[in-house]
Structure 1
Amino acid sequence: MTEQSKSGRIGGAGNGSRRRPRARRSRRPAILVSGALAVLVLGGAGLGYVYVRLDGNIEAVDINAQLGDDRPDDVDDGSMDILVLGSDSRSGDNDAYGKDEGGARSDTAMVVHVHEGRKRASVVSLPRDTLVDRPSCTGDQGATVAGERRAMFNTAYEVGGPACAVKTVEAMSGIRMDHYVEVDFTGFKKLIDELGGVEITTTAPIKDDKSHLDLEPGTHTLDGEQSLGLVRTRKSVGDGSDLGRIQLQQAFMKAFVEQVKDVGVLTDPTKLLGLADAATKAITPDSELDSVQELMGFAKGLSGIGAQNVHMVTLPVEYDPRDRNRVVPLDAEARQVWTALGNDLPIPASATKDAATGKADGVVK
Structure 2
Amino acid sequence: MPSTPIGAEVSHVSATPRPARRPPARRPRRSPRWGVWISACTAGAVLAVSGSGHVVVTGVAADIGRVDPFEGLRDRPEQGEGVNFLVVGVDGREKLTDAQKRKYHLGGASCRCTDTLMLVHLSAGRDRASVVSLPRDTYTTIPPHTDPGTGDAHGEHRLKLNAAYTHGGPELTVRTVEKMTGVRVHHYLEVDFTSFMRTVDVLGGVPVCTVEPLKDSRSGLDLPAGTTVLNGGEALQYVRSRYVDGEADLGRMQRQQRFLASVIDQVTAGGVLLNPGKLKEVASAVLGSVRADTGLGSAELLALGQAMRGFDPASSEFTTVPVQDSRHRVPGIGETVLWDEEGAAKLFAALREDRPLAPRAEGEKPKPRAVPVEADPRNVRVQVDNGTRTPGLGHRVDQALRATGFDTTGISGNAERRDIETTLIGYDPRWERAARSLLAALPGAELVAEPERGPELHVVVGEDFEEVTPVRPAGPGPGGEDARRHGHATTTGDEVVCP
**TM bucket normalised to smaller:** 0.7 to 0.9
1:8-19 residue pairs with structure 2 within 5 A? none
TM-score by length of 1: 0.79
For 2:487 and 2:213, locate their aligned partners in 1 and report how far apart those are by CA, in whole Å. 27
Structure 1 partner of 2:238: 230
Structure 2 partner of 1:297: 303
Instruction: Supply the RMSD in Å over aligned alpha carbons.
Output: 2.9
Deviation at 1:186, TM superposition (A): 0.5
Deviation at 1:249, TM superposition (A): 0.3
When residues 321 and 353 of structure 1 are mapped into structure 2, their CA distance, relative to the original with a 3 A threshold, is: farther
Sequence identity (%): 36
Verify: 1:87 aligned to 2:90, yes or no: yes
For 2:307 and 2:484, locate their aligned partners in 1 and report how far apart those are by CA, in whole Å. 27
Structure 2 partner of 1:203: 211
Contact 2:204/2:231, CA 8 A, preserved across alignment? yes
Contact 2:65/2:289, CA 8 A, preserved across alignment? no
The 3-state SS of whatever aligns with 1:63 is coil
For 1:221 and 1:60, locate their aligned partners in 2 and report how far apart those are by CA, in whole Å. 33
Write the letter of the residue equivalent to 2:94. S
Deviation at 1:92, TM superposition (A): 2.9
CA deviation map 1:122-172 (0-9, x unaligned): 221001111111112355569465255431111111111111111111000
TM-score by length of 2: 0.59
Asked which structure has the greater RCO (Cα within 8 Å, sep 6+), the reply is 1
For 1:354 and 1:144, locate their aligned partners in 2 and report how far apart those are by CA, in whole Å. 40
For 2:143 and 2:305, locate their aligned partners in 1 and report how far apart those are by CA, in whole Å. 31
CA deviation map 1:17-69 (0-9, x unaligned): xxxxxxxxxxxxxx88542444421443315446564234211112232x422
When residues 356 and 256 of structure 1 are mapped into structure 2, their CA distance, relative to the original with a 3 A threshold, is: closer
Deviation at 1:100, TM superposition (A): 3.1
Write the letter of the residue equivalent to 1:99. G
Contact 1:131/1:328, CA 8 A, preserved across alignment? yes
For 1:261 and 1:242, locate their aligned partners in 2 and report how far apart those are by CA, in whole Å. 29
Verify: 1:246 aligned to 2:256, yes or no: no
Structure 2 partner of 1:153: 161
CA deviation map 1:323-357 (0-9, x unaligned): 58321111111111112222222335446888799
CA deviation map 1:94-115 (0-9, x unaligned): 88333336x4211111111122
Pairing partner for 1:41 from 41, 47, 59: 47
For 2:215 and 2:180, locate their aligned partners in 1 and report how far apart those are by CA, in whole Å. 35
For 1:167 and 1:147, locate their aligned partners in 2 and report how far apart those are by CA, in whole Å. 14
When residues 34 and 242 of structure 1 are mapped into structure 2, their CA distance, relative to the original with a 3 A threshold, is: same
Structure 1 partner of 2:266: 259
CA deviation map 1:215-242 (0-9, x unaligned): 0001111111111111111111x31410
Q: What is the count of residue pairs matched by the alignment?
A: 325
The 3-state SS of whatever aligns with 2:92 is coil
The 3-state SS of whatever aligns with 2:96 is helix
Deviation at 1:273, TM superposition (A): 2.4
Unaligned runs of 5+ in 2: 1-36, 359-481
Write the letter of the residue equivalent to 1:184. D
Greater share of helix: 1
Contact 2:142/2:157, CA 8 A, preserved across alignment? yes
Contact 2:207/2:262, CA 8 A, preserved across alignment? yes
Contact 1:133/1:149, CA 8 A, preserved across alignment? yes
Structure 1 partner of 2:68: 62
Unaligned runs of 5+ in 1: 1-30
Structure 2 partner of 1:346: 356
Pairing partner for 1:170 from 175, 178, 187: 178
Structure 2 partner of 1:187: 195
Write the letter of the residue equivalent to 1:166. V
Is the radius of gyration larger for structure 1 or structure 2? Answer: 2
Contact 2:48/2:308, CA 8 A, preserved across alignment? no
Write the letter of the residue equivalent to 1:62. D
Structure 2 partner of 1:100: 109
The 3-state SS of whatever aligns with 1:44 is coil
